[in-house]
Structures are given as structure tokens and as C-alpha cells.
Structure 1
Amino acid sequence: MNGKRTSFYGLIQTQEKVKIPLIQRDYAQGRETASEVRTLFLQSIHQALTTESPALDLDFVYGSQDNEKAFCPLDGQQRLTTLLLLHWYLACHEGQYADFSSRMRHEGRSRFTYAVRPSSTDFFDALVAFNPGPMPGSKKLTEIITDQSWFFNAWHYDLTIKGALTMLDTIHAHFHDSKNAYCRLSNITFQLLNLDRFNLSDDLYIKMNARGKPLTVFETFKARLEEKIGELFQNDTLLPDGSQGSLKQHFSNRIDKKWTDLFWNYRDPETLFDDKVMRLVRAVAIITRPTGDARWEERVKALNQDETSLTSSLFIESADKLFIITLTVLLDRWCGLSSKFQSWLPEKHPFDEKAFFETLLNNAKPLEYAELVRLSAYAAYHVNHTLPNKIDPEAFGEWMRIIHNLAVNTRYTLDYFNRSQRSIASLIKEADNIVEHFASSLEVGGFDTQQIREEQLKAQLLKRNDSWWPVLHEAERHPFFDGQIEFLLKFSGILDTYLPDKQTAWSHTEDKAFQNSFHFYFQRARHVFPTKDKISDKEYRLERALIAKGDFEMPDRSFHLIHYRASDTHRWKRLLQGGYEDLEIELQRESLRSVLKFINLDNAVAASLQAIIDDAVSSPQSIKQEWRYLIVKWPQTIAACGDFIIRPGPGTASLLEGRDGRSKHFELYSYVLYLDLLSEKHKKGKLTPFSNPGYHPTRSETPCAYLNWKLSDRCIIALDITFQNHAFGLSLFQRHSQTMRKDVSDAFQTIGFAPDENNRLHRQVMRGAIESAIDDIVRTARNHRDTHSPS
């Protein structure tokens, strides 16, 4: 589709009128929620009108003529409405209203009108007939307009009119000091595409309108990119693959035929594949931005946002030679010899290029930096190997394996993404010998330092003995580890032997022993850590076994128990990564080594983990801290922690649902009392007349176990049991009452309870006396029940 470049007045000159049809929506650029869109649009126009900037093109405007010979825009309503308001404002403000009126009025009516509502039609008729003259910047234009006798108060409820007023105020804020902008309005152009010749039915007209922006961005981008390719490659006669030909012609043919066939396989029923093409374009635009450009951060942020905010102009700004070559090479490679996606990496490679391609097409949200880094490395290899028969699948596979491992195990910020991009640009020349390069221990940057160290160690292992290839690659491909296996290198003794001089210069016998040790730990780790589609153990055996084996103390600090959830693996990954700068994590990783050593592969892994737990529970002295012993014994304590954070304090321990003290929390000792003593007594009927025990976690107050004794419908006696400073606090009170029945109060005071100023009874008992105290309370309640009538 090719349009005719024209201006707003150029459109008016060739049409009887411009009419926004009934099927269109209200004027949206003036909405309060569109403030950023409105401001950015007017800034671009202001620059084009007040500086020596080149003409500003506003993409395609689609439409056709109705029976009244009025041009009805299918797409472009928002831009055309804004242009009308801008033309009216500048004409009035700069003394050019007579020229404006002669162009925009016919027989007393506006030649630009809305058929959406009668009130919108009347408003534009009145506005184009109104000439307020120059307007001071100190006064809002809205106030001037709404003060006029022709402005009806009811118009405030018309969304199009409301939006137009908001836009006029914004125009006034940008242009109140302009002097010669009106005469330069022809610098604002767009591509006019008359759809009459396509014989569109009304039904298709509505469906296309419903598609909205994706059609406009794709069609505009395609047309303008073809022009850009012609400009940038006009003297080139070689295609990226080395064959003779025009790149512009090659692109035009492929985008309408072969590449379209590829995207057609991934189309949506309603929007076909337009949006999917643009998602790929967005990704390629991001990875080809020059990292040394002063505007790199600004451009990447602009491109990597929700697709509803992206325009074809933004993409065209990114259409430099590298972008065009990269996009062309990738699409040619993926199309291969048919319309089906062609893969270039070995089977079962950790970077699944077909799945990645499909994910890329379906992701409308901002892209993850790790995804972009992998795409950047993948594209760079293809661009640097433009002849398909020159691609060595094995070398390509190793290049992508190492970059994949580095990317997915680096915690990214925008700055780190820039560093990774720079590193890829430096490493790409070594791509066909990437293992040798990493084995040389030359400095590598741009990724997580610890992961770089791991890749360098693995590269040396691969170079010294071919038998390491299947061993390491199998471990890397475990979906939970995903390339990060330093913990296995640590447990098998390889890492500690390597670190002093960064060399693997040991004997063949030692190497064989290291392989056996690595295999020993990997075979156990692969069974302990699930694949991503499995659900975590509701008995939390691994967590409890880790605590049982962890022989370390952390006085006066939080203990963070990392819990694996099927949808969230990063905490376990942090444990596996360890870290010499974080003693707590490193010690926890050592606990994992102890657990893995205990696994017996002849039995189920759960049985081995349970054996560790049972041994610890039967030998409490083996666990130094009692609060840890209770967690090992009672899996419910872990289930109580949404984020599995245990915070030991003096004489207590909190089980937090979240990451800070504002989260609901359980108190460990009172919770175990509820799980153990109270629940067991209830099952045996030894708490009657008290009902089922319960537990009350809190955010601000002290958590407690509780019992209720219903004396009557109007009288319920509650017992709250808290734990602080190595002792249980027992509190008796009457629910929903400021006082307690005197006969009840007197009865419990005989067993050591004392009243406070709030008519509650309190008693404190040491841990060893809690069962006796509970028995006293139950016995007293029973005696009272048997000797007193309900009232």
C-alpha cells in the first residue's frame, strides 16, 4: 500500500469536508489519561514548526468517501482532530484567521465535523466561526471558550468536546509565544491512503477499525522502511548472503511473500500477524542500538515499553544499516527453504530458538533483558556468518550455550544490559572458538562475575578432556539449574582446586576422581531438585533436611529459609549459586552438600530426606538451636511462612508470611503448642469444655494460640496463649464484653490468675509447666460448669 503525502490543508483542498464517522470513538488524545501522548505529540510538532527541523510525517491516514463526498477517516481521526485544533489556534493567535476561515468554513458550517454526536457537530461549527484573537499565556484557553454565549453547559458532558478543550489548553501552553508557526503548518504531513479503490465492505471497514493501531504501525513501517532501505543501500549490489541483487527489492519481495508465509503460521484470528511482526521488529531495534550512543538509554527505554505506546516513527528512527541487515538475515534464516521455521542449533540445545521465536511474537509487554541478550548473541552470530553454509552447528551451539548460561544467570539492570551488549560485540569475533577463548582465562566482562568464573572453569575442563562434554552438558540442561552448576563443581572439590591459580593442571587420575565426584553429586541433585512442571513437597522435606544438617549459628540476625515454589525458582537458585561474599548463603550451600551426600539412590529421595529429619528429631542435641529443631519436627511451621522467613529473637521466633515486620506472622513456640499439645488434647477430649483450639497470626499484636469456652449464648470465655521471653503468657477474658463474670473470675484466681485494670486475668508459666497449667485451667472450667447454672 502506497499513500500520497499531503498536509491537513492539502486534504481539505481535495475533499468537500472531513467527517469523523459514527462508528468511530470519541476524541481520545484529549483525555486526562493521555497526557503523556498529548505532550510528546505536541512537542514533536512544536519542534517542526519553530526550528529548522525537517518536515514531520505523521504516518498513514486511511479513509474513504461517503455518499455525501465527505472523507471519513478509518484511521487518523485523532491526529486529524488535533491538527484542526492546532490550525484554528495558530490562525487566531497569529492574525491568520481570515485564511483559516476561508479554508475551513462553507455556508456557515465547519468543513471538519464529527458525526459521533450532534453536540460534537455543533461545537466544531461554533469553534471554527470563533476568533478570539491573540491569547495571553497567563489565561487558560478553556476559560475563554466556555465563557462564550454560544457554549452550552451540556457540552461539558460530551467526551469529544471535553477532550478538544483539554487539547486546546495544551496547545496554548506550547504555542502561546509562537509568531510564524501558522505559515509553516505545511511542514506537518501524513500519507493519505484512499481506501475506495479497495472496495471495502462496511463489515470489513468496522473490523479494520477495531484492529486499530497494529495495522497502522505495520503498514506504515513497511512502506517507510522500504524507502529507508532504498536510501541507505542505493549503491549496494550485494545482498547479506553475498549474492547479487537490490536489498530494497529483496526486502519488498520477501515481506509480501516468503516472510509473510512464516508469520501467517502464527497469526491471530482477529489481528492476523501485524502485531507479531512489529514485536520482532521492536526486539531487533533494541539489540541493534549502538551502545556508545549518548541517547542509547533513552532509545532503549522508548522501544522497550508496552506495544500500545509504540509508533512506526519510533521504529523508523532505529532503521539504520545494522538494524536492516539484522532483520533481513534473521528472517531469511528462519524461513529457510519453506514457510516453516528453520532451526540452526543442535537438538535439545538450552536456547530453543523456535520456542524463543514464538515467545517473542506473543509478548506484548516489555522484553526481559536476558531475552534480549540471548537474541543479540544469536543475531550477531548470523550476521557475522552471512553465508548459511559457513555456519558450524557445533560452534554456533557452544557460542549460544555459553551466552545463554551467562545471560539467564545475570541479574539485570539497564546498565548491565548495556554492558552485556558491549561484551557480545567484543566476543563475537571469537564465536567459532568461544570455548578456547574462555579456557584461556582472558578477562571477560558484561555478565555476572561468578557465572563468568564458572564458564571459564568449565571451558578448561572441556578442553583438557573430551569426556567432560556429556557430563557438564547434561547437568547444565537440567531445567532447574539452567546452566548454573558451580555448586556441583564446589561439592566435588573442583572449584577449590581450580581457584588458587585458575588452572585445571591436575593428573588424569585426579581428573577421573573429580568426574566421579561430580557425577555423584549431580545424580543426587537432579532427583532432589524438581523439573519446572513439578509441585513442591508439601512436607517440605528438603527444607527441613537442610535445617537439620546446617551446623551454623547466626545470633541477632534473621534466618532466611529459601523455599522453592513451582512458579518461583530464584530463591533456590540463589542458594545453589552460593557466594564467597555472603557467608550465610555459602553456609547454607554447604548444608546442601551434607544433604546430598546422605541421599541413597536405591530408595526414593523422599525417604532419604525423611531419614535425615527422623534422625534429627530423635536426637535433639544434634541441632544446636531449639527453634530450628521445632521447624525440622513440624512441617506446618514452614507452611505458615508465605515467604519462609524465620526471625529468631530473644526467647522467641517469628514465622513471617512476608518479607518484613508488617506482614502477618506466627510465633513459633505458641504455634507448636497449638500443633502439638493443644491439638492432641483436643483429639482425646481432654480440653472439654473448651472447643477446638485455634491460632491467630497478627501484624502488630502478639500472635497467640487460643481456646474458647461457651458458657452460654451471651458468655464466651477465651484463653489466649502467647510466648515471650522464654515463658508462656496465659490470658483469660470474656469475649464481646468489658467485664468478666465474677464467679468465673473468682474461680480462675484460685489457680494463680491475677486480674488487670481491663478485667482480664493473667498468668505466666515457664515452658516446662505449660501442660500442667492447661490441665489446671480445664479442670477449673469443668468444676465451674458442674457447680454453676448458665446465665
Structure 2
Amino acid sequence: MSQQEIITFAGIFSLVDFIEIPVIQRDYAQGRQSAQEIRQQFLHTLEQALHQDARSEPLVLDFIYGSIVEENPARLSVLDGQQRLTTLFLLHWFLAAKEGEHQAFCQRFTLNGKSRFSYKTRTSATEFFDALVSASPEHYQFAPDAAPIDKQLIDSHWFYLSWRQDPTVASCLTMLRAIQQRFTAATDNLFQRLCSEDDKRIVFHYLNLRSFGLSDDLYIKMNARGKALTEFENFKAWLCGRIGGWSEAETFSQKLDGRWTDLFWQLKVKELSFDTLYLRFFMRMAFLLECGRGDKSASTLEEGDTAWFSLLRDAQGAFSPLEFEQRHAFAVEDLEKIRRVLDYIYVAQTAPDAEGAASAARALLIDFVTSSDYLVQARFCALVLFILAQAKPGDDAALHQQRWLRFTGNLLNTLELNAKNFIRALAALKAMAPHAHELYVWLEHAPVPAIFKDQWQEERLKVELIQQDPAWEAALIRAERHPCLQGRIRGLLNLACSSKHGRYSLKEFIALTDKTLRVLDKAIIEHEEHLLERALLTLGDYLVPVGYNRFTFCRSANHSWRERSRGWMRVVEKPIFGELLTHIGKKEVLKTLQNLIDQVDCGGWRELIVKYPQVISYAKERLLDKEDEKIYLLSKSTRRAYFFELHGYVLAERLQQRLENGDLPVPIKAAEHRWTYGDDEPWLELTLDKEQVRYLYYSEGKFQFWKYEDSESKKAPQPRYFPALLEELMPEIYAVD
């Protein structure tokens, strides 16, 4: 074989006896579950090449590096190209078996009963290839409705189940199933065409290292000890080749390897390599650019668009040149935008007087390359649009950036973002971006984007206040930054507005913010005794509705808009929160809350919960179900899981305590509250004197006795002493007669 020769896979075997994947190489990877995108794209490329007519150029699969051991038998030891060669070998075997060409396959690809293509990484891999080529495929089924070929092989008498533990064998089985799915319906004689030397469809450039006087050891060192190039290195090579005709190509390539590389090196994100972050940036920028094109709208998204967007946004798969080329990704105008974004962030970090702007841009960049969350992507897109809207960076760019990011962040934080809403939000941001450098002036008369209408008026009010008194800006930002609020502070603004004059007091707003930050401190909203929840219940019913008779005590989670809209943000907007703040003075907040709890006198179910904080702890999802007078505490999110009824639970607790103290003046021997789930009603089981058992349910504002557990059973008369006992034990509710 010459130093560099164009050759087919089958043609290699006319020059050597065996092709071997040496011990130093990794296992076969194209069949791994995580390589689905690579696998499908490569098979698609091979399929297209095999179906093209003879006038078409053959598919060139780049270089294969290796060295030939000139001995008997002669062996080609592959140092680069093992993935492509393995897939081609499996494709030859499948097509030969499907098309009845197994004998021709054996004549070409076996020698002395052994496979002429083999792995030396593990004995099990070698044995698998030998067994695969030796077994007759006449019992295998290849019809469209046939069982998966990998399962047929595993069920064969020659297949050892222990081979499935070999990563190379497992990957081969997965690849064969993928080949079956793509080539089962093919009717052409593809095996003969694949092997043809007259009409070569798929070829390689072969480079024999030893013909250049290079040792295998040197190649391994050059190629990172045998490891393949990273996905980003492959992407970079493809990108630089794609922009050859662009006037800025050389400058772009230099920055790609220079200042921008430095930018990503400095991110230092744990557990993610530098080139992973770099590649994710480009993939997700392609996502933003695709979503922002004028022809993309929420109503016209097709299934193919959705899949393509998901691939770019998740950025978890490998780089696929074929699909990027088919989608015309990274056109020159896109690369110009990317250049401006990267230059802006790089320069911002080196500017001595723009620390705040640089910090914000850096934080958004880190989030952008580490999270596929729609909100994260939208916030970075807002930064991108701000950068692209700059005709020329000015001295006040940092201030304009801060205001734009705060304003757009507040709007985005109040949205439930999904694929369609994301595109709508980006379209609205794009329309607003030209005004980013005159934001406050423009907002006075700006049209209201439909998707942002719920938050828009609040943002307009904030701008009016800032223009009246610039001191408002810092005060508003301080309140907006609370994790539970994240931009939506209309509750505090309403409290700071005089009901008599309709004017907003900055002094009052600052005082309210101080109190709110103290009350919504993490240590308080996560307190194991639930002091904040109980103190609020002493003042009124603050619970937030979440649908179908269910209400939440509020959880500390506030990462998403859904969580905040069912959490403390909603409570802050209730009048009861303002009433609570009137009790907050200079004393420690916990003491104030405890004082309210100690003085509770509200009666009813609220007082019962205030006195029994364990019922809130029981509700892991912080949910209760209110149905008329019955209060059900839920262990999970619905009554499909275990729950109990509050009044019966408290009565059982108090009866049990009196029994333990030995001061219960009536003949009750035991009391136990029964939890339940589904459509059953929780009940209280009482054991009376003479071993009589009675069952109590709380319904229609009173306790009712039943003779049996089943709530459909006959009612039973209550003991004569029970009404007086209830009045004594349950003073928070009215006793029954």
C-alpha cells in the first residue's frame, strides 16, 4: 500500500490479511447509547452514498492512519479510524446476510474460519467477531416486521451472554439494530455495490505511518495517547473550513484560538471541560439565532424544527457536520454576530471601569453554557440583543446594560417558558432591543408586548418613580433581588402607596423592604417550627390556592416562575402580609413571630394548625385540601396518597394526652386517628368501656358517630358525656349536641 492511497474498506483486504484494532485503542463507541446522533448521521451519510448513481463523486471518509506489520500473515494495525472501519464492517456483514451474499462475504472477509477484521482490546471482542462471521445467517429474519437483529443474535446458540458485558460487543449489537432499521427496506444489491472496485461509493485516504518513518509511539503521543479529537476540535476544524471565503475568516480563526479561548479557559466550571463549554456556546448560539429568525413563529414550528432546536439547546450530543450543513447553520452573518458577542464579553472583562457590567455578562455566559433552561437561554439572548443593538460602545454602556438586563430579566422571570413561549419572548425582546440605550424614555410610550403584559405596567411604574427621584432605582433593585420575588415587587409598591393621595413614598418603601428581607430570610422560611406560617395564620387565611380545593402553606423553592407564583411572592401581595409587617419592629423577627403564635385566639382550623406545627411538617409538599369545614393534610400532592383530617387528628392527640396523664374523667380506654387515602374518609377510633368501639368522622362542622368503620354504615348514638368532653377538649370549634 502506498504512503497515501484512496481505497475502499473491501479493497484493504486485497493488500493485507487482517485489520486489527490494537490493545491501545478504546472500545467501539459509535454503538453506545449516548452516541445516537453520531450513529444516525453516519448511517444516513452511508445510505445516501450507496444510493447515488455512478456519475456522483464517492463519499470520502477522511484519513485512516495505521501501520502494516509485514509478516505472514500481514496485518494492518489501525491507530485512527477504528470507529468508521468497525461500522463499515458491520454494514458489510448485515447487507451480505440480508441479500443472501454470506458466501461472498466469507470469501472476502474470513481467513481460516476467522474474521479478517478484529479487535484485540479484549478476548471477548475477538471471539465475537470470529463467531459472527462463521455462523450461517439463514435462520435470521430480515423482513420489515422481523425481531431486532441484536436480539436474534443474542438468542443464537453460538452467542455467549457474557459477551454482552464487553463494551465493544454491546456497541456492535446496538449498531446492527440501527443498521437494520435504516437498511431493511433497501431493495438494491447494496452489498455488491459496497464492495465494487469499479464503482467506488465509499472510500478513505490511507496513510501508512511507517512509510513516513514515524513510529506508532510518536503518533500516540501526538494524538493524546490514542484518544480521539474532542468534539469541539472537530467542530472548529469544520467551522474554519466552512468560512474560507469570508473576508474576516482569518481574524475569526485567530480569535477562536486566541482571546476567546482565554475567555472560556477562565470560566473554570467544575466537572465540565473547557472545550465542552466552548462547543456548547456555539451550539446554543445557533439555537438562539435560529429561534430569532423572522420566519420562525410559535404557530409554524414543525416537528423537525422542534427536534433541531432541542438538539442545539441541550447541546449534549456530539457535533454533527451533516445536519449543520443541511440546516445552513453558522452562515457568515451569524458568525459576525457571534464575533461581536464574544468580543464584547472579552473586552468587558478587561475594562477597568466596567466591573459590574463584566460581572453580569460573565455570570450570564456561565449560566448559558451550563444550563439548558429556557429562562437562562432567554436572559443570555437579552444580553446578545443588547450587544448587537450597539452602534458603537459608549461611556455609559455599562449603565445601559444594567438597566436593560434588569428590565428584561424582570419580564422573563414572570413567564412560564416553553418552546413556543420562548420564541414569542425572543421576538418581543428583538423588537425592544433597538431602544435598549434609551430604555427609560422609550418606555413612557412604548407599546405593550402581549407576552409581557402582566409585568409591563409594574415596570413602567418603576421607571416613572426613578424619573421622579433617581434614588428609587437602588431601592427597587434591592427589593427585586430577593430570591422569592425576582423582579415582581408590586406587593411592596402597593403597601408604599398612600391610599388617600395615591402617591408612593420612597421612605416607606425602603422600610417595608427592610422588614420583608428580614421576614423572608432563608432561616425563617425554612424554620422547622414553621413560625412564619403559623404567625400569618393567627392574622388570617394567607394560604395560596393551587387549584381544586388545594392550598399551599408555601415552600422555600423559588427557582421557577411556577414555584414563585405558588409561593411567598403571592403572599407578599396579600393584605395580610402588610398586616404582619406592622408587627415587625426592631426586635428579632423570630421573637415577634413567636409572640403572635403565643397569643393566638383566631379559633377554627387556623388556630388548630398554629398549635400543632407537626401537621405542616407532615405535608411534605406543604399542601392541604379544604372541603367545606373539613381540612385534609396531604402527605403528597393529592388525596391519592395518605392524608388525615385536621379536627379528628387534634381530638385524637388531645384524648391520647389526657389518657397518658390519667386525668380523663370519662370511660374511654384508647383513641387513635386513622390515616387513609383515595376516596375514604379519615376517622377517629375510640375504645369505650366494655370493649365497645365507636368511629368518629368530622363532617358538616361537627363530629358524628358511626357503628362501624365503613362510612356508609348506620349512625350510632354518641355517649351522653361526649358533647361536654368535646367542649372541653376542642374549644377552638363549636361543640356538637
Give the TM bin, normalised by the shorter chain. 0.7 to 0.9
* Aligned with residue 119 of structure 2, among 101, 104, 114: 114
AA aligned to 1:153 is W
- Report if the CA contact (8 A) 2:230-2:275 is conserved: no
Q: Tell me, in whole angstroms, the C-alpha distance in 1 between the residues paired with 2:666 and 2:79.
A: 77
AA aligned to 1:543 is E
Matches within 5 A, 1:226-265: 226-231=240-245, 233=246, 236=247, 247-265=248-266
- Per the alignment, residue 397 of structure 2 pairs with 392
Q: CA deviation at 1:530?
A: 2.0
CA gap of 1:401–1:143, structure 2 versus 1, over 3 A, is closer
- Per the alignment, residue 216 of structure 1 pairs with 230
Q: Tell me, in whole angstroms, the C-alpha distance in 1 between the residues paired with 2:202 and 2:700.
A: 76
AA aligned to 1:618 is D
1:431-466 per-residue CA deviation (whole Å, 9 max, x = no partner) reads 211222222241324x44212232222223333443
Q: Tell me, in whole angstroms, the C-alpha distance in 2 between the residues paired with 1:34 and 1:606.
A: 54
Matches within 5 A, 1:157-176: 157-159=162-164, 164=172, 167-168=175-176, 170-175=178-183, 176=185
Q: Tell me, in whole angstroms, the C-alpha distance in 2 between the residues paired with 1:382 and 1:774.
A: 71
- Per the alignment, residue 538 of structure 1 pairs with 528
Matches within 5 A, 1:673-684: 673-679=651-657, 682-683=660-661
* Aligned with residue 481 of structure 1, among 478, 482, 485: 485
Q: CA deviation at 1:217?
A: 1.1
- Corresponding residue SS for 1:436: helix
> Is 1:604 equivalent to 2:609 in the alignment?
no
1:125-158 per-residue CA deviation (whole Å, 9 max, x = no partner) reads 56567897999746859889979xxx85244653
- Report if the CA contact (8 A) 2:554-2:568 is conserved: no
- Corresponding residue SS for 1:473: helix
Q: Tell me, in whole angstroms, the C-alpha distance in 2 between the residues paired with 1:416 and 1:515.
A: 35
Q: Tell me, in whole angstroms, the C-alpha distance in 2 between the residues paired with 1:662 and 1:111.
A: 61
* Aligned with residue 618 of structure 1, among 601, 604, 610: 601
- Report if the CA contact (8 A) 1:561-1:646 is conserved: yes
Q: Tell me, in whole angstroms, the C-alpha distance in 2 between the residues paired with 1:449 and 1:96.
A: 67
Q: Tell me, in whole angstroms, the C-alpha distance in 2 between the residues paired with 1:381 and 1:166.
A: 46
1:366-405 per-residue CA deviation (whole Å, 9 max, x = no partner) reads x011100111111222234375557711111111111111
> Is 1:225 equivalent to 2:239 in the alignment?
yes
CA gap of 1:92–1:146, structure 2 versus 1, over 3 A, is closer
Q: Tell me, in whole angstroms, the C-alpha distance in 1 between the residues paired with 2:575 and 2:403.
A: 31
* Aligned with residue 593 of structure 1, among 578, 598, 602: 578
Number of residue pairs the alignment of both structures matches: 695
Q: CA deviation at 1:430?
A: 1.3
> Which residues of structure 2 form unaligned runs of 5+?
730-737
- Per the alignment, residue 552 of structure 2 pairs with 561
- Report if the CA contact (8 A) 2:232-2:279 is conserved: yes
CA gap of 1:573–1:121, structure 2 versus 1, over 3 A, is closer
- Corresponding residue SS for 1:307: coil
CA gap of 1:374–1:663, structure 2 versus 1, over 3 A, is same
Q: Tell me, in whole angstroms, the C-alpha distance in 1 between the residues paired with 2:466 and 2:389.
A: 25
User: CA RMSD of the aligned region, Å?
Assistant: 5.3
Matches within 5 A, 1:61-460: 64-65=66-67, 77-90=82-95, 104=109, 110-118=115-123, 120-121=125-126, 124-125=129-130, 137=143, 140=146, 153-155=158-160, 157-159=162-164, 164=172, 167-168=175-176, 170-175=178-183, 176-179=185-188, 181=190, 183=193, 215-231=229-245, 233=246, 236=247, 247-266=248-267, 272-289=273-290, 290-291=292-293, 292-293=295-296, 296-305=305-314, 307-308=316-317, 311=320, 318-336=329-347, 342=350, 352-363=360-371, 367-385=372-390, 392-445=397-450, 447-460=451-464
Q: Tell me, in whole angstroms, the C-alpha distance in 1 between the residues paired with 2:33 and 2:661.
A: 62
Q: TM-score, normalised by structure 2?
A: 0.76
Q: Tell me, in whole angstroms, the C-alpha distance in 1 between the residues paired with 2:120 and 2:285.
A: 41
Q: Tell me, in whole angstroms, the C-alpha distance in 2 between the residues paired with 1:343 and 1:119.
A: 59
CA gap of 1:130–1:614, structure 2 versus 1, over 3 A, is closer
CA gap of 1:569–1:31, structure 2 versus 1, over 3 A, is closer
CA gap of 1:536–1:142, structure 2 versus 1, over 3 A, is closer
- Per the alignment, residue 734 of structure 2 pairs with none
1:518-574 per-residue CA deviation (whole Å, 9 max, x = no partner) reads 33432332222225x7752333233234334347999x9625134132576857732
Q: CA deviation at 1:300?
A: 0.9
- Report if the CA contact (8 A) 2:341-2:384 is conserved: yes
AA aligned to 1:423 is A
Q: CA deviation at 1:354?
A: 2.6
Q: Tell me, in whole angstroms, the C-alpha distance in 2 between the residues paired with 1:589 and 1:387.
A: 46
Deviates more, 1:23-32 or 1:455-464: 23-32
1:560-609 per-residue CA deviation (whole Å, 9 max, x = no partner) reads 1341325768577325798xxxxxx799723323333x233222333444
Q: Tell me, in whole angstroms, the C-alpha distance in 1 between the residues paired with 2:578 and 2:209.
A: 70
- Corresponding residue SS for 1:666: strand
- Per the alignment, residue 492 of structure 1 pairs with 496
- Per the alignment, residue 501 of structure 1 pairs with none
Q: TM-score, normalised by structure 1?
A: 0.71
1:280-316 per-residue CA deviation (whole Å, 9 max, x = no partner) reads 2232222121442465433211223361466465566
> Which residues of structure 1 form unaligned runs of 5+?
237-246, 498-508, 579-584, 621-625, 732-752, 776-791
CA gap of 1:131–1:663, structure 2 versus 1, over 3 A, is closer
CA gap of 1:57–1:410, structure 2 versus 1, over 3 A, is farther
